[in-house]
Chains A and B, each alone.
Chain A
Amino acid sequence: MASIDIKGVKKVYSGTVTAIHNLDLSIPDGQLVVLVGPSGCGKSTLLRMIAGLESITDGTIAIDGAVVNAKEPAERDIAMVFQNYALYPHMTVRGNLEYGLKNRGTPRDEIDRRVAEAARILEIEPFLDRRPRQLSGGQRQRVAMGRAIVRQPKAFLFDEPLSNLDAKLRGQMRIEIKRLQRNLATTSVYVTHDQLEAMTLADQLVVMNGGRIEQVGAPISIYERPETLFVAGFIGSPPMNLMPMDGALGAQAFASLDLPSGTDVVGIRPDSLVVSQPQTPSASFSGTVELVEPVGGESHVHMRLAGSSDIMIISVPGRTEIVEGAPMTVYAKAGDLHPFNHQTGKRTDTPAANP
């Protein structure tokens, strides 16, 4: 168990391609931190640098207070769960679990005790003498996690561990990983491109883009108050509506509202849009319903704004009476608007201005 401190870390490939720019991040002891971002944002590179599988061009990474830049992966006392599980195909499940302990010269009875315990926790006892190829995807996933937990490392690193599973199993394993991490209270870094996985798992969510950190915080606070346009568009499903304020539409919709200066894009969550006009000051949008997607508990209405080619997505609870092709007007409370400047990509309302 340990904290991980990343200071001014940079990764440059073959002298020209910068994958990570001067990144600072500190991961507190015992927390589950999720790195999320689109592919190519540097999240996997960062994880592999923590693991010692990639060299660090500049800056320092410290695990438990000790700088590990020059240490081999084996000396960093971390365990990693790979996307393709990376189980040793020629060993049994037991052999896979024991391998790391044997390499470290753990006494035999201690190995047996830890393997038995991990097998019990992950419910893989019946498969201990099988080979990985005789297991299903979900079972392999458990073995991969077992291989990490028997080591009792300072930190777990997860590299998109659920992306090879089907949707149902993914949801199930997500809950198990969270429960396991809670029980063991081992510092964990988890990389994913799936924002739902990121939201549900994270104690701390780190949104990355283009080799930089966009925002760090608790998942809900990031959802409620995205600091940048990128985060606003990336976190949340269906994604936030980002309405440009230039042109006729912006002027009329937001005219009555006192938006901070410099605002030229306004973000509105699909679930903040309502069909009945609220008492408080609000923006209103009119258009035609183009498509209704019922997803079960709620429906997503795609509305084409009058006099523009922009589509707005509105999330309405339950099955809706709204029919495709009908005219529609929706409202958003002033407090539910997220004002941005597209030049800087940042929010325009500073915390002081918006209590």
Chain B
Amino acid sequence: MQAKRTVFPNKILPYFLLLPQLAVTLIFFIWPALQAVKSSFEREDPFGFRTTFVWFENYRRLFIDPLYLSSVGKTAIFAFSVTLLSMSLSLILAVAVNRVLRTNRLYTTLLVWPYAVAPVVVGILWWFMFNPNIGIAPYLLRGLGISWNHRVDGVDAMILVIIAASWKQISYNFLFFVAGLQSVPNSLIEAAAIDGAGPFKRFWTIVFPLLAPTTFFLLIVNINYAMFDTFGIIDATTQGGPAQATNTLVYKVYSDGFIGLNIGSSSAQSVVLMIIVIALTAIQFRYVERRIQY
């Protein structure tokens, strides 16, 4: 006997049922993406009267533009720091929660809340706390003799967006790490304890390697998040400034296109980003799904 399968006698019905999802994908994803690819090969005059097809001119200019190259560097610093900070903090939190199993439902619930907060709200929240005039953080830092002003200091601005972006992502990472930790059999930990490994050694030689699939998955997700999903946070806190200090690639797409009205360059930038997303997703599917399995 084969497994029971539903067969539609009507040939059109299956397509009809798929139509809403296909329509959403086509109208909101595929079509804009194709538009971006198309306009990345075009240049528009300042008044929007005429568009000329310029082949790869937009791309060529992009890769010799020092502002764009500096934005690549900023994005790398930003993505690396956010990934490292949010993943390591959430791993520490997950390990701590995993130790106090009895109360972990409460902790887990509380720690998940930041994920439900909209990026712009996260941005406002941290912008408020770090506001050089009225914020609590600069006030406390001043007590320590540190002067904080992310409006004029590029490093301060970068630290601010990294903290805000990491804070939001910790919840997500935390959930996955807790699930990963719970799936490590207790008897393995006990066997390692009998085998003479202390708590730290047990963590690094047994638990952490067994978390590798989770860690790798989160690594890709976090890089993706830091590079593409942090637009709202940056827009609400620094708006790419001061002096381009926090102008990451995704924010630059917005500021060049919608503020600077350079549609051609903005489109070329978004196509570059698209290619990065596709590459990261391919890595994730190819390796996470297959490679690391025990």
Residues of A within 8 A of B (CB): 51-53, 72-74, 78-80, 82-84, 86, 88-90, 99-100, 103-104, 131, 133, 147, 151
Contacts A84-B185, A89-B210, A133-B294 given; indicate if A100 touches B195 (C-beta within 8 A): yes
Beyond A82-B187, A89-B210, whether A99 also contacts B193 by CB under 8 A is no
B105 at the binding interface (Cβ < 8 Å): no
Cβ-neighbour of A53 out of B193, B197, B201, B294 (below 8 A): B193
List chain B residues, Cβ under 8 A from A82.
187, 190-191
Q: Name the A residues within 8 Å of B192 (CB-CB).
A: 88, 99
Contacting residue for A73 out of B194, B201, B294, CB 8 A: B194
In contact, A74 and B193 (Cβ under 8 angstroms): yes
Is B198 engaged at the interface, CB distance under 8 Å to the other chain?
yes
Known: A82-B187, A84-B187, A88-B188. A103 touches B195 (CB 8 A): yes
Closest chain-A Cβ to B198's Cβ sits at a distance in Å of 7
- Bound-state CA distance A100–B14 (Å) is 59
Task: Output the least CB separation between B231 and chain A (Å).
Answer: 38
A53 with B195: CB separation less than 8 A: no
Apart from A52-B193, A88-B188, A147-B195, 4 more pairs, CB < 8 Å: A82-B191, A90-B294, A99-B192, A151-B195
- Distance of A103 Cα from B210 Cα, bound (Å): 19
Asked if A86 contacts B190 (CB within 8 A), the reply is yes
Minimum-distance CB pairs A-B, first 9:
A100-B195, A103-B196, A89-B294, A86-B187, A86-B191, A74-B196, A90-B209, A73-B193, A73-B194
Interface size of B in residues (CB-CB distance below 8 Å): 19
Task: Render B175-197 as a binary contact track against A, CB cut-off 8 A, 1 for contact.
Answer: 00000000001011011111111
Give chain B residues whose Cβ lies under 8 Å from the Cβ of A103: 195-197, 201
* Contact partners of B206 in chain A: CB under 8 A: 88
A74 and B187 in contact (CB under 8 A), knowing A89-B294, A90-B210, A90-B294?
A: no
Compute how far the CA of A98 lies from the CA of B137 in the bound complex, rounded to whole angstroms: 51
Contact B185 A73 (CB under 8 A): no
Least distance between B66 CB and chain A CB atoms (Å): 46
User: Could you write out 18 A-B pairs with CB less than 8 Å apart?
Assistant: A51-B190, A51-B194, A53-B193, A72-B193, A74-B194, A74-B197, A79-B194, A80-B190, A83-B187, A88-B188, A89-B294, A90-B209, A99-B195, A99-B197, A103-B197, A133-B294, A147-B191, A151-B195
In the complex, which residue of chain A has the Cβ closest to the Cβ of B187?
A: A86
- Contact (Cβ within 8 A) A104 B188: no
CB pair B210–A74 under 8 Å, yes or no, is: no
Decide if A80 touches B294 in the complex (CB within 8 Å): no
- Closest Cβ neighbor of A105 among chain B residues: B196
Nearest-Cβ distance from residue A103 to partner chain B, whole angstroms: 4
Q: In chain B, residues 241-294, which have Cβ atoms closer than 8 Å to a Cβ of chain A? A: 294
CA distance A299 to B185 in the complex (A): 44
- Chain A residues near B191 (CB-CB < 8 A): 80, 82, 86, 88, 147
CA distance A72 to B192 in the complex (A): 12
Q: How distant is B71 from chain A, measured CB to nearest CB, in Å?
A: 39
Say whether, besides A89-B210, A90-B209, A133-B294, A74 and B190 are in contact (CB < 8 Å).
no
Interfacial chain A residues near B201, Cβ < 8 Å = 103
Query: Using an 8 Å CB-CB cutoff, how does the interface string of B196-210 with A read, 1 for contact, 0 for none?
Result: 111001000110011
Residue of A nearest to B194 (CB): A73
Q: State whether B209 touches A73 (Cβ < 8 A).
A: no
B196 A100 Cβ-Cβ under 8 A: yes
Find chain B residues with CB under 8 A from A78 CB: 194
What's the nearest-Cβ distance from chain A to residue B125, in Å? 40
**Chain B residues near A100 (CB-CB < 8 A):** 194-196
Distance between B166 CB and nearest chain A CB, rounded to angstroms: 29
* CB <8 Å contact, B196 and A86: no
Q: Is the CB of A53 within 8 A of B190?
A: yes
B187 and A104 contact, CB distance less than 8 A: no
Bound complex: CA of A147 vs CA of B195, how far in Å? Answer: 9
B243 to chain A, nearest CB (A): 47
Q: Which residue of B lies closest to A72 (CB)?
A: B193
Q: How far is the CB of B93 from chain A (nearest CB, A)?
A: 24
Query: For the complex, what is the distance from the CA of A89 to the CA of B198, rounded to whole Å?
Result: 19
List of B residues within 8 angstroms of A86 by Cβ: 185, 187-188, 190-191
Which residues does chain B contribute within 8 Å of A133, judged by CB atoms? 294
Looking across the interface, which residue of chain B has its beta carbon closest to that of A144?
A: B191
Bound form: Cα–Cα A319–B206 in Å: 55
Q: Which residues of A contact B194 (CB under 8 A)?
A: 51-53, 73-74, 78-80, 100
Q: Which residues of B contact A90 (CB under 8 A)?
A: 209-210, 212, 294
Bound: A83/B191 CA distance, A = 11
Report the minimum CB–CB distance from B259 to chain A (whole Å): 50
CA distance A131 to B294 in the complex (A): 9
State A80–B193 Cα separation when bound (angstroms).
Answer: 10
